[in-house]
Amino acid sequence: MVCISSVTYTFTNNGKVFGEVQPYRDDCYIFFRANGVEARTMKSILDRYERLSEQAVNFNKSSIYFNPNTLSADREEICQSLQVQEVNEPGKYLGLSMKISRKKISVFQFLIDKVKQKLQGWGTKSVSRAGKATLIQTVAQTIPNFLDESVSNSK
């Protein structure tokens, strides 16, 4: 099973190779079952990745977020195995919360605020009702598409 693969790009000009570039890796999210066996397996995979890719995982900048139902003994064992700190909130990625609860309005409120902000800046007093509907539709569709493309392209 291959979990992580690496790519190298070479650049040429008039047939002459100018060098190799390995893309920078950042903001990696890894999911696994919250138990000691899987944590040790993940640590082994990350150690192997470091050896083969010659890219080091910075565990000082890494953190772990657990499901609230995870037992504290399991949390401690996993944090110790991976040498990472536990966080209470998973944080945001590209402005979107990584934790989407049942209260979806609070998670996506920033989208509504952004649409309102853009529309207010356009001075729509002289625009017809149909024109306003088109503006709202265009802006409202553009922002989520940008987020979706940003998240898709960052994988």
pTM comes to 0.51
Q: How far apart are CA 33 and CA 20, in angstroms?
A: 37
Burial class of residue 91 in the structure, from the number of CB atoms within 10 Å of its CB (0-12 exposed, 13-18 middle, 19+ buried): exposed
Q: Contact at 8 Å (CB) between 84 and 62?
A: yes
Tens of pLDDT along 24-33?
A: 556 677 888 9
Tens of pLDDT along 102-139?
A: 776 776 777 778 777 777 766 656 777 787 778 777 76
